[in-house]
């Protein structure tokens, strides 16, 4: 599985730690930056990761900003993206099981690196349950078309 990753200055250290961790686990990564810790506008990174997931280049994406919220708002503007800002384990797991979320957004100023790595593992290791949840996701897609 190939994973797209990106951050702004609020999530720089977390993004690098997550990239290291995923590489060690054997995942192929595309790192959309930032590559040095300077102030940037989070939508500029969110759209790169979101496009990479939406066009099938990557299967899942991870975005980190200060809260995870700005990245999720921006990424969710891209058709086909279901980005979830999570700061605890239950949500990171169930947003895969029930929402088939394809981007996990984390807050570098909200959670520590240790929690971030655990949430990333849960997110990438949990499959979508399908069934009645697919019906609901189809309804989200219909909203996108309307």
For the record, the structure tokens of 25 come out as 């686990």
Find where tokens 């029930």 sit.
Answer: 98
CA 88 to each of CA 49, 50, 120, 126: distance values in angstroms, whole numbers, following the listed order:
22, 22, 11, 15
Residues 63 and 105 sit within 8 Å (Cβ to Cβ): yes
Out of 51, 52, 67, 101, which residue is the one contacting ligand RB5 (CB under 6 A)?
67
Q: Is 69 in the site for ligand RB5 (CB under 6 A)?
A: yes
- Mark the segment that binds ligand RB5 (CB under 6 A) among 62-70, 76-84, 111-119, 137-145: 62-70
Smallest distance, ligand RB5 to C-beta of residue 106, A:
10
> Does 65 help bind ligand RB5 (rule: CB under 6 A)?
yes
Q: Which residue is nearest to ligand RB5 (CB)?
A: 70
Cα Rg of the chain (Å, integer): 14
Residue 102 backbone dihedrals phi, psi, to 5 degrees = -110, -5
Task: Name the nearest CA neighbour of 4 among 23, 25, 30.
Answer: 30
Residue 65 annotated in active site:
yes
Tell me how far apart the alpha carbons of residues 5 and 41 are, in angstroms, rounded to a whole number. 16
Active site residue 98: yes
Catalytic residue among 7, 14, 58, 65: 65
Nearer to ligand RB5, 110 or 117 (CB): 110
- Residues 16-55 binding ligand RB5 (CB under 6 A) are 42
Q: What does the binding site for ligand RB5 look like in residue numbers (CB under 6 A)?
A: 8, 10, 42, 65-67, 69-70
- Residues noted as catalytic: 65, 98
């Amino acid at each position: 599985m190939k994973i797209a990753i990106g951050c702004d200055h609020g999530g720089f250290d977390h993004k690098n730690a997550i990239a290291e961790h995923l590489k060690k686990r054997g995942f192929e990564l595309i790192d959309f930056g930032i590559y040095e810790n300077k102030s940037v506008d989070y939508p500029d990174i969110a759209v790169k990761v979101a496009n990479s997931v939406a066009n099938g280049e990557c299967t899942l994406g991870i975005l980190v900003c200060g809260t995870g919220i700005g990245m999720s708002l921006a990424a969710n503007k891209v058709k086909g993206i279901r980005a979830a800002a999570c700061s605890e384990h239950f949500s990171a797991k169930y947003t895969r099981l029930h929402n088939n979320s394809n981007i996990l957004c984390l807050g570098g100023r909200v959670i520590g690196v240790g929690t971030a790595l655990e949430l990333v593992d849960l997110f990438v290791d949990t499959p979508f349950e399908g069934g009645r949840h697919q019906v609901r996701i189809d309804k989200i897609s219909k909203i996108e078309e309307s």
